[in-house]
């Protein structure tokens, strides 16, 4: 089974500040279960640089902290993630929680104050629309139950 994974969780230095969110527990669990990770950072795939100005969802738009509209880059990254998932037959994704691209269920509220609201990041939304089931580093164990132990 192949699973789409946020590149920063896998240790790629693709975060807005040039760092990563490497989570060895997830990486080791996926590999131990025989899961083949397909890694992407949608924001970089959409053409944004590393480092970059942080951005958050404000309604249907993604606006960075300098007030620039980066919705198109976020959408391009989301489309690239869907294409990659299709190409590899990924039915599930493990994405970084709370991100304006990758967040699933909770995202930052658009005020750059660290507050969370209910919602999905741009990529998580498009993946769900295309039928990919999305999880985060907080819920990925449910994916193992949902997919690995099915009949
Ligand atoms: Fe990580 Fe996703 Fe943000 Fe890229 S877009 S740094 S993969 S949370």
Ligand 1 atom at minimal distance to the Cα of residue 101: 5
Q: What is the rounded average pLDDT of the residues 41-70?
A: 98
Q: What is the pLDDT of residues 91-147, one digit of tens each?
A: 999 999 999 999 999 999 999 999 999 999 999 999 999 999 999 999 999 999 999
pLDDT of residue 138: 95
Q: Can you tell me the distance from the alpha carbon of 59 to that of 71, in angstroms, rounded to the nearest whole number?
A: 11
136 lines ligand 1 (CB under 6 A): no
The reply to whether ligand 1 has any atom less than 6 angstroms from the CB of 125 is no
* Cβ-based neighbours of 32, under 8 Å, separated by 6 or more: none
- CB of 20 shorter than 6 A to ligand 1: no
- Residue-range domain boundaries for the chain: 2-148
Phi-psi region of 61 (alpha: psi -120 to 50; beta: other; left: phi over 0): beta
Q: What is the pLDDT of residues 83-98, one digit of tens each?
A: 999 999 999 999 999 9
Cα–Cα distance between 13 and 95 in angstroms, integer? 15
Q: How many beta carbons lie within 10 A of that of residue 138, not counting itself?
A: 13
For ligand 1, mutation pick of 17, 22, 43 (most atoms within 8 Å of CB):
43
| Sign of the torsion formed by the C-alpha atoms of 46, 48, 110 and 100 | positive
So what's the pLDDT on residue 21?
98
Region label for 150, one of left (φ > 0), alpha (ψ between -120 and 50) or beta (otherwise): beta
Average pLDDT, stretch 60-75? 98
- pLDDT attached to residue 99: 98
Ligand 1: which residue has its CA nearest to atom 6? 15
The confidence band for 151, taking pLDDT boundaries of 50, 70 and 90, is: very low
Residue 4's pLDDT is: 98
| Alpha-carbon separation of residue 116 from 31, 62, 113 (angstroms) | 31, 15, 9
């Amino acid at each position: 089974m192949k699973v789409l994974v946020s590149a920063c969780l896998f240790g790629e230095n693709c975060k807005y500040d040039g760092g990563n969110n490497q989570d060895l527990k997830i990486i080791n669990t996926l590999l131990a279960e025989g899961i083949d990770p397909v890694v992407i950072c949608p924001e970089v795939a959409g053409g944004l640089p590393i480092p970059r100005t942080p951005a958050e969802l404000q309604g249907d738009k993604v606006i960075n902290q300098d007030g620039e509209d980066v919705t198109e880059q976020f959408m391009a990254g989301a489309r690239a993630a869907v294409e990659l998932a299709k190409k590899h037959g990924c039915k599930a994704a493990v994405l970084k929680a709370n991100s304006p691209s990758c967040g699933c269920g909770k995202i930052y509220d658009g005020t750059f104050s660290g507050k969370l609201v209910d919602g999905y990041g741009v990529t998580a939304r498009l993946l769900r629309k295309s039928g990919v089931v999305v999880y985060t580093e907080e819920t990925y164990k449910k994916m193992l139950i949902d997919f690995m132990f099915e009949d």
